[in-house]
Each structure stands twice: as structure tokens, then as C-alpha cells.
Structure 1
């Protein structure tokens, strides 16, 4: 028996929702949002076996959230649509507004304190133009190398203590990481504020900054995701 057009549409919408229903797939999307990634690298970054990562990636592909291409024997994944970034962020916003456990976890990242309001990307761009901000990219070094905000210093959360003597106590410090699901920036801001520094995190991460059409610099010779001059 055939189903109604509405039922058919809802089934397709539910396909997207089901694709987002596994934490492993959200981790994979977070990584792919940084730029094109090989399947093996995605498995390594997320701690999944290659076989398990492949299964999750196929679910994301069937839902139209990612696309793939082959480079020799390698399979490389990318986001199919920038709207996926908005979908990921909307999922975060709804969870933060309605789930008490999410609020508890986030407060824990800030040592039980209310976190300061994030810095908008427009504000950060203006401060960069003025030279009135220190920007910290707190992602791993390989992610920084493949693309970062110009002028950002790369330092992981575990390395913050090493650079404290070099930071201007009177300056505004903005930390950023991967995007809506990354907690590194939350942790960095909490650690810096414990030392009395004026630290805030960026609203969004490198993927959202890049999607705005803002400049991005890459160090890796085989990856160029720069928007400079465009």
C-alpha cells in the first residue's frame, strides 16, 4: 500500500534526525566541519575503528549530510551543505535551553561559575583589525595547521600554563576551537579566568568563521582552505 506524500516526506526528515542520533556521528561531523578529511584520519581523531567509522559515515552520507570522493584508494569526506553547520548549532542551542544535564556539564567546565558571554565573530573581526585582542586557537596542532584565524596563537589547554607569562593581563583574550560541540574553548576560558585574565570564547569556531567568508590561513602544503583575497 502506498503512503501519503506527507508520510513520505516525514520519513525523509526522520532519516536526517536518525543520522544525528549517535554521539559518534556528531564527533565525525565536528571533524568534517574543519575541512575535507580522509576516512582513516576521521577514525583516528574520533577513536573509532575504521570499520565503525565507515558505517557511521555511510549513515551520514545516506542522510545527505556528508559527501565523499575517492583519491586513489582513500575515501575523503566533506560536508555537503553549510546549512549542516547551522543544524549542528541548533541542536546545541535546543539542548542547552531544555536539558538540565547539559547546563550542569557546561557549568562544570567553568568550575561552577557562570561563563561570560561569547564574543561574536563580528566583534572579533573588529578587534583583530584594531589589534586589541589576543586570539588563541586551542585545537590540536594538526587542525591549526590545516586552517586557522590569521594571527591566532596555537596552544592546547594543557599548554596554557606555559604561555601565561607572555599574556598581557590587560588584554582581551578570545579562545576558539572546532565549533558547537567542542569544549576546549570552554576549558581554556575557565583556566585563564582563574588567573585573573579577561578571557572569553568565540561564538562558533573555525568552521563558522570560515563560512562567514572571513580570512583563514593554512600551513599544510596539501590543504588550502584559505578565504583570503576572496
Structure 2
């Protein structure tokens, strides 16, 4: 390979890698990836969950699809999107982790909006696994039910956070209750733990969400 060909090779190669960078260079597209980690969604659901017009959601999903990060299928009138592979979730975790380590603004945003989280008891995945083996805990999946169906922690009960108050009487008072949701920045489990404590239950939240639990190799159920 001559120098001219070598330069052309490098230019074309990095141009393709840049497509991945372009796909990730949007707050909404990162949010969409974080949503699709939980399970497959049709375009209308993506638009609703991310609070953007359906046309914008479709455009963002096309960019992600063109970069090979999501796949689509049609069912009737709906087009459904899902992550193209677990490595896409890994790429999002790397971006998130890099931001957490390198950007002080991340800490400031978290402190501003989740400032009372420190008052809530939390358990890590390793500790929760021990409690599950000892049968000393009730685990609540407080995500939407369709996300629970796509995958959940072993033995977890599905009680979406909006339905938790009505279901309180079905929960035992003699066991610790651990609530989990979508990930470290999801507030569903925070809301659930506050409600449980206000009603006299021993409750804590899982520091990680279901995707992190699964990625770490802990057992799951569908």
C-alpha cells in the first residue's frame, strides 16, 4: 500500500467510526438508547417517553439505525426498535461512565435534582444477591410492566411505581423490601422507597438498575 492509498484508507476508516460518534452526539439519542436498553419500543412509545414529537423520534431512530446501533421490525401499523446488541448497551455505559468521571457538571446536576437521595437506604447488587439467597428480602420491579416482561431480577414482583400505593396491603411487613428500576438515574425506585417508608415498611433501593444487573452477569428471569 502506497502513501496515497494509506491516507485514503485511514480517511475512509475513521469516517466510518465517526458515524458511531455522530449517532451518540445527541442528548435525545442517548436517552433513546437508555430507554431501549429496557426493551423493545415502537416509535410512538419512544416519542412519548422522551417527550419529543414523533417525527423527531423517527429521525433520531434512523440515525441510530444507520450507525448500526438499533434494529427495527414492522408489526401491523407499528415500527418497533430494539438495540442491535449488548455491545451497544456497553458503549452507552462507557459514555456515561466517562461523563461521570470527567465532567464535574454531571455531579452538579445530580446533586441539584437528586439532592435528597442520600437519605434513602441503598444496597448494591452483590448484597442483594446475598439477601435473595437467604430469602430475606422482597424485590419489587417498579418499572412499567412491559419492561418487567422483557426481563427482571429473580423472583421480583412487578408493581409499577404508579400502582404501588394501591398494592401496599399485599406486601409483607416482616421482610426488607428492595425496589429497583431502570438505572442509577431513574427515580422510580426513589419514589417507591419513600412511599414504603412513609407507610411503615423497611425499604431500600438497588443502587444499580436492571440493565446493570444483567450486564454484570447476575441471574435474570423473563
Aligned-pair Cα RMSD in Å: 3.4
The aligned residue for residue 116 of structure 2 is 111
- Confirm whether residue 27 of structure 1 aligns to residue 26 of structure 2: no
**1:38-49 to 2 correspondence within 5 Å?**
38-49=42-53
CA distance in 2, matches of 1:157, 1:110: 22
Residue by residue over 1:9-47, the C-alpha shift from the partner in whole angstroms, topping out at 9 and shown as x without a partner, is 322222212212222212221222122222222222222
Deviation at 1:144, TM superposition (A): 3.2
Structure 2, unmatched stretches of 5+, are none
Q: 2:106 maps to what in 1?
A: 102
Q: Establish whether residue 83 from structure 1 lines up as the match of residue 81 from structure 2.
A: no
SS at match of 1:24: helix
Partner residue, 2:138: 134
Between structure 1 and structure 2, the one with the greater Rg is 2
How far off is 1:209 after superposition? Answer: 3.7
TM-score, normalization by structure 2: 0.75
Equivalent pairs, count: 214
CA offset digits 1:164-201 (Å, max 9, x no partner) = 99564873x43221235533335555776788956232
CA distance in 1, matches of 2:152, 2:95: 25
Q: Shift of the alpha carbon at 1:65?
A: 0.8
Structure 1 residue corresponding to 2:189, chosen from 181, 185, 188: 185
TM-score by length of 1: 0.73
- Of stretches 175-184 and 154-163 in structure 1, the one that deviates more from structure 2 is 154-163
Residue pair 1:189, 1:201 contacting (<8 A) in 2 also: no
Partner of 1:201: 206
SS in 1 for 2:31: helix
